[in-house]
Structure 1
Amino acid sequence: MNTEKRETILREIQYWRRSKLLSEQYCDFLINLYNDENKIKDSNPVSLQNLQQGSIKIWLFGFGIISLIFLISLYFSVFPWPLQLATALCVLVVCYGYSAVYRDRNQVISLLLAGAGSVLTLGFGLWMISLHNLDPDFWRPLLIATCGLLWCVLGFMLRIGLLQFCGYAFWGLLYAGFFIQRRPDAQLVELELLWVPLSVLMIWLSWLLYHRVSGVAGVYFGVGVCLWIMPEIDALWLRQGFPGWVSLVLIMKVAAGLALLFIFRKKWIAWVAT
């Protein structure tokens, strides 16, 4: 058995041990069968074991990263705006780039880096809007649209469903804000017409793409399910003046949605699992 295949099997056995899928004794037996356990390399560079046995280079690298974070935090506001923009872009490229690098090696680190990049994207944008006294009515929606598009694309490329879902959630927020300004006095029927067709469209796309494009069916289905109750959420939380019986409509729609999910459970579970 070649070295690469043996290391793959040993990593799987370690994963079974950590996840309690197999007993300790059986994992030890499998490890001894393929290789000596002491020769197994931990693929997580920030594990306690690697930090304990790491060279001075690892600690110096950590010191440099922490110092850089404090340097950016303390002096970002005094940078000229081109340097602020370049600094933000460099940080985001590093976060998302290493998230892509660790996608197959260590999913936990990949998710943490993608999450940090996403939070920093929004944080840097809001910070620069505040520092330069930009018009929030124009730049905040533009920032939301940019973040939504970026997260949808990167979530699809990195196969991170939560990141992709957050991108669609931001686009939904932008959609709601646009129609609040356009139709502030919209009735519940009009809100149903604004949101429910989008819900049906996303669920239909989930069914259409689940066996053609991997990594999107579950996201589209989750977005469609959330859009199903968005008319009532829009009326109760984002607008004013709606009567209390809208809450009963929300409860009835949730019950109807759960009933539909139960009836068609064998179909949509296949979409989400794929």
Structure 2
Amino acid sequence: MNSNEKEKQVIIQEINKWRESKLLPSEYCDFLLNLYSSGSNAPKKETKKDTKSNGKSSLPRILTIIGFVIVVAIGIYFFLNFTSFHPIMQMTILGIITLACYVVTSIYYKHSNPYIPLISHSIASVLLSVFVLRFLFLYGLDQDISSVHISFLFVFVVWLIMSIALRHPIIFSFGLIGLTVLYNQVVTQQVPSESIIEPQLYWVPVALITCWLGYALYQHKKQHQYSYILLFSSFLYFFMPEINLGWLSRSFSSIQESLALKIIILFILFFIGKSVLRSQVKQTEV
């Protein structure tokens, strides 16, 4: 045995040690062994282990695909036979699916693809409203205005809370729109249709509270989108009595004075707020 062959044997032994101690990946060791021994000393047992490990790594994927197919099949079955189930069974299915969608959203809300949690959150929100509607029809409460208002108040509040927790401003906007429509219905039932003074007592305080909440959320960097939505909503609430009266009376002349007064008030508040913000900025700089 010449010196070159001895050197090759030493190198091959070292490579085998690297393989056993896992200093290098098995693919690199195979390549080096083939390079120095022309394939004669390439370990066959290790390749079998690699194939076994590859088979094991593909097993979770296969199980995931099978599970997905089973879930889809069950979903299709329930969808096609949903109306034939007992009403309580229908509500149970809706509740489970809604809860599952919220769980999926909470798990994947930091996913690299933002559409996955948004879609599941949207489905959960819609199913929650369907669940409440089914509950009202099941127990004959759909004709009771108070029950309908309370039920959908619950739905929209859940939308708001979950949208803030899961960081979906779009769902937050829809929840706020729902609350606005609901509150507007309550106000129109309590206030005469041609009155312009009494609605101010309902809407102006709400506008101020919403504006304060928007300003408070603006102090947090991660809540700017919600603050913009609330500030815009407060502006809308401030003029909601005029919007309602103008829509009902179909006449702009009946709300001209109130609109002019509110616009003047807004300009005054704008300049006051601007000066206050400037003074705060100067104090922070000092």
Counterpart position of 1:119: 126
Higher helix share: 2
Q: Runs in 1 of length 4+ with deviation above 4 angstroms?
A: 54-59, 246-265
TM-score relative to the length of structure 2: 0.60
8 Å Cα contact 1:206-1:217 kept in structure 2: yes
Residues 1-274 of structure 1 aligned to structure 2 (within 5 Å): 55-105=61-111, 106-131=113-138, 133-136=140-143, 137-211=145-219, 214-215=222-223, 216-237=226-247, 240-241=248-249, 243-245=251-253
Q: Out of 242-251 and 116-125, give the one that drifted further.
A: 242-251
8 Å Cα contact 1:77-1:131 kept in structure 2: no
CA distance in 2, matches of 1:60, 1:257: 64
Q: Tell me which amino acid in the other structure corresponds to 2:93.
A: T
Query: Structure 1 residues 114, 80: closer, same or farther in 2, change over 3 A?
Result: same
Counterpart position of 1:51: none
CA distance in 1, matches of 2:67, 2:142: 40
Counterpart position of 1:49: none
Name the SS of the counterpart of 2:81 in structure 1.
helix
Name the SS of the counterpart of 1:125 in structure 2.
helix
Following superposition, the deviation at residue 154 of structure 1 comes to 0.6
Structure 2: segments with no counterpart, 5+ residues = 1-59, 278-286
CA distance in 1, matches of 2:245, 2:70: 49
Query: Structure 1 residues 110, 199: closer, same or farther in 2, change over 3 A?
Result: same
Percent of matched pairs sharing the same residue? 21
Structure 1: segments with no counterpart, 5+ residues = 1-53, 268-274
CA distance in 1, matches of 2:170, 2:265: 22
CA distance in 1, matches of 2:104, 2:170: 18
Query: Structure 1 residues 158, 227: closer, same or farther in 2, change over 3 A?
Result: same
Structure with bigger gyration radius: 2
8 Å Cα contact 1:118-1:151 kept in structure 2: yes
Following superposition, the deviation at residue 99 of structure 1 comes to 1.0
CA distance in 1, matches of 2:262, 2:205: 17
Name the SS of the counterpart of 1:243 in structure 2.
coil
CA distance in 2, matches of 1:221, 1:82: 42
TM-score relative to the length of structure 1: 0.62
CA distance in 2, matches of 1:79, 1:142: 27
Counterpart position of 1:44: none
Query: Structure 1 residues 138, 65: closer, same or farther in 2, change over 3 A?
Result: farther
Query: Structure 1 residues 68, 225: closer, same or farther in 2, change over 3 A?
Result: farther
Q: Tell me which amino acid in the other structure corresponds to 1:151.
A: W
Structure scoring higher RCO (CA < 8 A, sep ≥ 6) equals: 1
- Report the count of equivalent residues: 212
